[in-house]
Amino acid sequence: MKAAVVVFPGSNCDRDLAVAFEQAGFDVSMVWHKDSALPEGVDIVGVPGGFSYGDYLRCGAIAAQSPICKAVIEHADRGGYALGVCNGFQILTETGVLPGALLRNAGLKYICRTVGLQVATSDSVFTQGYNAGDVIGVPIAHHDGNYFADADTVKALQDQDRVAFTYEENPNGSVADIAGILSENRRVLGMMPHPERAADEGHGGTDGTAMFRALAGMVTAA
């Protein structure tokens, strides 16, 4: 099993994400933003958190136009697996791989704390290690995590069971308490909370481990 983690200038969760993949049994390669191709045989791409390109213009906007993102989009279009966390979620919405956008938090403040996440569906490789309705503790650390999509898009996400996680107590104003969503083929997950920061005893919580373990058991190359 091979994972690739994309590194942009300003990424700061890339190594955490790589460690979480490694601990689950993946061979991980780091891929620089100027690269135009993913390594051969990559099963899943991780788009990490951070502040790619300084969050200039909009969070994720410049990263979405980078050479490696073209390869990530092609990978997703081929039916490949991808996980975008925090800034990675913002980047995946900017590329159009996932619908909607992330706005400034409704309370305007940067929020960094562990929140309760409800698993909204267990029907994906990312969430099959949980039961729908489970509440897990996962840290958030963002200023622009207020998920927005128009009413039709939100309804489609709900009707197609593509909301992966919702907040127990909405910290940032996200529409319908949405914390993470799946692509139409359920192989791309974008989420603001950081499962890779809840994947080791030293983190103070290991509720994210089940995601990486489940991924290791399921993904197949695209």
Under a CB-based contact definition with an 8 Å cutoff, are residues 138 and 197 in contact?
Answer: yes
Number of residues that bind another protein (CB under 8 A): 21
Under a CB-based contact definition with an 8 Å cutoff, are residues 101 and 76 in contact?
Answer: no
SS3 state at 5: strand
C-beta closer to another protein: residue 4 or 163: 163
Q: How far is CA 30 from the centre of its chain?
A: 17
Active site annotation includes 74: no
Looking at 66-74, 106-114, 119-127, 203-211, which segment touches another protein (CB under 8 A)?
106-114
Whole-angstrom CA distances from 189 to 48, 52, 53, 106, 109 are 12, 19, 22, 23, 25
Binding of another protein by 103 (CB under 8 A):
yes
Q: How far is the CB of 14 from another protein (least distance, A)?
A: 24
Q: How far is CA 90 from the centre of its chain?
A: 9
Q: CA-based angle 26:136:12, to the nearest 5?
A: 50
Q: How far is the CB of 188 from another protein (least distance, A)?
A: 17
Binding of another protein by 88 (CB under 8 A):
no
Binding of another protein by 65 (CB under 8 A):
yes
Active site annotation includes 196: yes
Residue from 105, 124, 183, 209 touching another protein (CB under 8 A): that is 105
C-beta closer to another protein: residue 14 or 144: 144
Q: Which of residues 142-201 bind another protein (CB under 8 A)?
A: 146, 148-150, 173
Query: Could you tell me the maximum CA-CA distance found in the chain, to the nearest angstrom?
Result: 43
Q: What does DSSP assign to residue 39?
A: P
Binding of another protein by 94 (CB under 8 A):
yes
| Those residues with Cβ within 8 angstroms of residue 207's Cβ, 6 or more apart along the chain or in another chain | 136, 137, 138, 195, 198
Residue from 48, 50, 88, 99 touching another protein (CB under 8 A): that is 99
Given the residues 13, 86, 142, 203, select the one marked as catalytic: 86
> Which of 57, 53, 2 has the alpha carbon at shortest distance from 31?
2
C-beta closer to another protein: residue 149 or 210: 149
Q: Give the residues lining the site for another protein (CB under 8 A).
A: 57-58, 61-62, 65, 93-94, 99-101, 103-108, 146, 148-150, 173
Which residues are catalytic, by number? 86, 194, 196
